[in-house]
Amino acid sequence: MFTNTDVSMQNKLKIINDPVHGFIKIPHEILFDIIEHPYFQRLRRIGQTGLLNLIFPGATHTRFHHALGAMHLMFTALETLKQKGVKISEEEEKGAMLAILMHDIGHGPFSHALESMLMDDWHHENLSLLLMNKLNEEFEGQLSMAIEMFQGKYHRKFFNQLISSQLDVDRLDYLKRDSFFTGVSEGNINTQRIISMMNVCDEGELVIDAKGIYSIENFLTARMFMYWQVYYHKTSALAEFLLVKILERAKYLISQGAELPATDNLKYFLYREKSAATDEDIERFTKLDDNDVIQAMKEWQNSDDFVLSYWCQCVIQRNLPKTIISSHPFDQEIIKEKIKKSNELFGIDNGNELVHEIKRKLFPYHAEKQPIYLLHKNGRRTRLHESEDQLLSGLIVNKTTRYILMFPRDISRLDS
């Protein structure tokens, strides 16, 4: 029971009702403080899956949802390991939960798609680390262990692996969550079963109890199916590509002296010259979200520049270009023909801006870089794909590549 003097703590130990995992506990005050911080609240306005809702209408969930879910799975994993005799201090528990809670805090608008356009190839993990360090100053060093874990430098390796590996709680949450919101059942993994099979070997590494091998194989194949069926779906890949082309075109036009309407923060990045990140860059970035980009695209539909106007209309009106997918690169003659027809249809001479080949590749399971180990009852470890019991792991260790050709849908009229 809490006394009257514990009111402030009691108010911070919330329970959140999540549609995917059910009730999520916030067991430490500092977690609540980070969730309430404006840096983290911004994630409510950053979609988890970019423009995926153009293909799967239910995919409107946010990075905020995902971060809370990953924090919950981290707590569940640590509780499981404790029950198996792994010593975990309260400070380590807080550190691991904080690290996974903040792992996406540096995501920009529409997630991965626009990172390079807005912040000069700064990966979101770099931005997350930068924001974590600023928060650590604000919270007087309470995030130091979390930052060490996030960077993969903590001396107990399994903490680092729970945050980032081929079987981390980040992946466990986004697969189950994205499956739920897209309605694609192939990604609906059993997170509780997988977590219940987690263990730590004598070397301090995260392993899976050998009897959980098929749950892990199901997880790996589910991830592969989700990538090709959802994340790398040809229309999804197209929509993400269009976002990049729109911002790229806008920056080019501005460099040529054009005036484009945009919110102050987006305009700041459109005009920004390449340089190391400054304090103002960071301050502006933490106020930028999906709404800035959507508002800009709505305005730019009426741009005098045909290419920018065309791309924005494609996205806002969901009148997307046509796509063809192939396991091999497209013949250059086919691409040239699509460009020629685009010029004829629109009466332009830069049809090459409207025709592109998009490439997507996937390594379902990187057996050498980050192998998943099975722990047998006798203490012996084996790599997943080398286990005598594996059924699928040996088949998904090779890289797969797909090519997508995009071109204006209306040029098909010229063929009739």
Three-state secondary-structure class, residue 342: helix
- Residue recorded with tokens 């305009």: 267
Cα–Cα distance measured from residue 312 to residue 303, given in angstroms and rounded to the nearest whole number? 9
| Number of Cβ within a 10 Å radius of residue 71 | 28
Cα–Cα distance measured from residue 379 to residue 252, given in angstroms and rounded to the nearest whole number? 59
Cα–Cα distance measured from residue 72 to residue 173, given in angstroms and rounded to the nearest whole number? 9
Are the CB atoms for 111 and 174 separated by under 8 Å?
Answer: no
On the 0-12 / 13-18 / 19+ scale of CB atoms within 10 A, 308 is: buried
Q: Which of 112, 404, 356, 110 is nearest to 245 (CA)?
A: 356
pLDDT of residue 368: 78
Q: Is 0.85 topped by the overall pTM?
A: yes
Are the CB atoms for 33 and 94 separated by under 8 Å?
Answer: no
Give, for all 416 residues of the chain, the pLDDT tens digit.
334 444 444 578 889 999 999 999 999 999 999 999 999 999 999 999 999 999 999 999 999 999 999 999 999 999 999 999 999 999 999 999 999 999 999 988 986 666 666 666 565 678 889 999 999 999 999 999 999 999 999 999 999 999 999 999 999 999 999 999 999 999 999 999 999 999 999 889 999 999 999 999 999 999 999 999 999 999 999 999 999 999 999 999 999 999 999 999 999 999 888 777 788 888 998 999 999 999 999 999 999 999 999 999 999 999 999 999 999 999 999 999 999 999 999 999 999 999 999 999 988 788 778 889 999 988 889 888 777 776 666 567 778 899 999 999 988 665 55
CATH superfamily, domain at 14-232+368-398: Hypothetical protein af1432 (1.10.3210.10)
* Type of residue numbered 135: L
Q: Check if 14-232+368-398 and 234-320 are the same fold.
A: no
pLDDT of residue 367: 75
Are the CB atoms for 72 and 186 separated by under 8 Å?
Answer: no
Cα–Cα distance measured from residue 303 to residue 246, given in angstroms and rounded to the nearest whole number? 12
Domain 234-320 has CATH 1.10.3720.10: no
Cα–Cα distance measured from residue 39 to residue 43, given in angstroms and rounded to the nearest whole number? 8
- Ordered by start, the domain boundaries in the chain are 14-232+368-398, 234-320, 322-363+400-415
Cα–Cα distance measured from residue 250 to residue 112, given in angstroms and rounded to the nearest whole number? 18
H or E, element range at 209? strand 206-209
Cα–Cα distance measured from residue 232 to residue 270, given in angstroms and rounded to the nearest whole number? 27
Cβ-based neighbours of 376, under 8 Å, separated by 6 or more: 210, 382
Cα–Cα distance measured from residue 412 to residue 414, given in angstroms and rounded to the nearest whole number? 5
| Number of Cβ within a 10 Å radius of residue 72 | 25
Share of the chain above pLDDT 70, in %: 91
pLDDT tens string 245-271: 999 999 999 999 999 999 999 999 998
Specify the DSSP class assigned to residue 62: B
